[in-house]
Amino acid sequence: MHKLMFRMSLILSVGLLFTATSSRSEILFNGQWENYLGKFYGEQGWQNGTPIGQPTNDNGWSDFMAFWSPVPIDNTWLFNTSSARDRIRLEPDPTSPKGGMVARFEVRGGDHRNGAYSGERSEMYAMVGKNHRKLPVTADSGHEFYGLAVKVSADWIAPQAEPPSKGNVHWGSFMQLHSPNIYNSPPALDLIAENDFHLGMDSGELGITKIDPKTGAVRQGKKDSIPVAFTNGKLNPGHWVQFMMDIVWSADSNGSIRIYRRDEGEQEFSTVLDMPGTPTLQYDSFISTDPAECKTCAPDNVTHYWRVGFYRSTSPDQTNVLWLGPVVRGTSFDEVAQAAFGSGAMHPDQLPGR
């Protein structure tokens, strides 16, 4: 009897150990701006780059730069798309949540490359995690948490609308989950700063059929991104606002997104958006991603990836400036909050009385 109980206890202990190990929390991307080790520019830093992140040995400046160091540096962004060196700067900010280094992003009128994309931008993209591997987002990414603090300038003005020829659309994204390049669509999800903070969404099925109003012909098209309001979307210009995102990745109704906010002086996060049972990734029934059918379906072209900074609709004679704290991605709410903001936080669902 005692031997049986011992064996059952051993089995139970091993089972619990396996469960704890298999569900272990992890920081996947710890984007502290100090990671650049003073090599943000110069011979070891941003250089004219190639799509695989190698320098071209051209000492000029373009809006496509690769971050390069003889010793690969993990937890950095691989690419920089800005119009000049001064558009992205690293600065110490003792008022930021962590009181350390932050990134300043500036966008001016005309900060775009003709024919390359719409709008104007100053961004960094392509997360590089452990072992210097890119970190895209796929359905296999599962359940993740993201932490990011943002401060818009005290004189903030919302981006202008594009001209009627481009649909009068307007946007101002400071963190976007870029569509797979092959889809050529708006972001699946993006955090927006215009007259307020809100979410942009263009997830799920992208491909739709449209009727040409002139000819009546049926043609393929894409659905548009929609704005989703927060219960508290105040910008608080000149002050830091912390956001946590709780996301389950899926292109169908198995996905979900919940966003939490914490302002300066607050101890706990409050829920500002809760969308269960909603797609968080994209697919297009009219576009194949099968390599056997698609010559451009390289891995980088068929996966979502993150961009941070500021990307706005064309706004002549207008300058926008915002600051971002560390961007952190992981599998634990508390650990991500600790790494991103310097202070942990209990998940709002675990607070007493909830």
Any domain includes 114: yes
Any domain includes 281: yes
Q: Is the pLDDT of residue 232 over 50?
A: yes
Any domain includes 118: yes
Q: Is the pLDDT of residue 69 over 50?
A: yes
- What integer pLDDT is reported at residue 208 of this predicted model? 79
Number of domains comprising the chain: 1
Q: Return the structure tokens found at 241.
A: 């606002």
Any domain includes 210: yes
Length of the chain measured in residues:
354
- What integer pLDDT is reported at residue 354 of this predicted model? 60
Cα Rg of the chain, angstroms: 22
Task: Give the mean pLDDT of 114-139.
Answer: 89
Q: Return the structure tokens found at 252.
A: 């169908």
- What integer pLDDT is reported at residue 235 of this predicted model? 98
CB 137 within 8 A of CB 281: yes
Q: Is the pLDDT of residue 22 over 70?
A: no
Residue 246: how many other CB atoms lie within 10 Å? 21
Share of the chain above pLDDT 90, in %: 63
Sequence-ordered list of residues with C-beta below 8 angstroms from that of 289, at least 6 positions apart, any chain:
180, 182, 297, 302
DSSP single-letter state for residue 139: G
pLDDT tens-digit series, residues 144-186: 999 999 999 999 999 999 988 888 899 999 999 999 999 989 9
Q: Is the pLDDT of residue 347 over 80?
A: no
Triad 219, 221, 226: Cα angle to 5°: 150
Q: Return the structure tokens found at 89.
A: 């700067």
- What integer pLDDT is reported at residue 14 of this predicted model? 35
C-alpha pair distances (Å), 48 with each of 53, 67, 90: 9, 9, 19
Which residue did the predictor score with more confidence, 349 or 286? 286
Look at residues 299, 292, 288, 304 and name the one whose alpha carbon lies nearest to residue 251: 304
Lowest mean per-residue pLDDT among 57-61, 185-189, 202-206: 57-61
DSSP single-letter state for residue 224: P
Look over the chain and give the mean of its residue pLDDT values, rounded to a whole number: 87
Lowest mean per-residue pLDDT among 20-24, 76-80, 163-167, 326-330: 20-24
Look at residues 34, 60, 38, 35 and name the one whose alpha carbon lies nearest to residue 49: 60
Any domain includes 165: yes
Any domain includes 65: no
- What integer pLDDT is reported at residue 353 of this predicted model? 62
Look at residues 63, 92, 96, 85 and name the one whose alpha carbon lies nearest to residue 311: 63
In CATH, what number is assigned to the domain containing residue 256? 2.60.120.200
CB 309 within 8 A of CB 33: no
Q: Is the pLDDT of residue 2 over 70?
A: no
- What integer pLDDT is reported at residue 112 of this predicted model? 85
- What integer pLDDT is reported at residue 115 of this predicted model? 63
Q: Is the pLDDT of residue 10 over 60?
A: no
Q: Which long-range contacts (CB under 8 A, 24 or more apart) does 39-43 make?
A: 39/69, 39/73, 40/90, 41/85
Which residue did the predictor score with more confidence, 265 or 218? 265
Beta bridge partners of 193: 197
Q: Is the pLDDT of residue 6 over 70?
A: no
- What integer pLDDT is reported at residue 219 of this predicted model? 66
Task: Give the mean pLDDT of 87-95.
Answer: 95
Q: The tokens 């690969």 sit on which residue?
A: 72
| 279-298 burial code (b ≥16 CB/10 A, e <16) | bbbbbbeebebeeeeeeebe
Residue 155: how many other CB atoms lie within 10 Å? 10
* CA–CA dist 261, 258 (Å, integer): 10
Lowest mean per-residue pLDDT among 17-26, 61-70, 284-293: 17-26
Any domain includes 28: no
Look at residues 168, 205, 171, 172 and name the one whose alpha carbon lies nearest to residue 188: 205
- What integer pLDDT is reported at residue 292 of this predicted model? 79
Highest mean pLDDT among 77-91, 216-230, 321-335, 336-350: 321-335
Any domain includes 311: yes
* CA–CA dist 264, 211 (Å, integer): 50
Residue type, 92: P
What pLDDT band is residue 52 in, cutting at 50, 70 and 90? Answer: confident
Look at residues 157, 59, 179 and name the one whose alpha carbon lies nearest to residue 107: 157
**Structural domain that includes position 235:** 89-127+140-350
DSSP 114-166: TTT-SSEEEEEEEEE-GGG-B--B-GGG-EEEEEEEEEE-TT--PPPPPPGGG
Residue 261: how many other CB atoms lie within 10 Å? 20
**How, if at all, do strands 305-312 and 172-178 pair?**
antiparallel
- What integer pLDDT is reported at residue 249 of this predicted model? 98
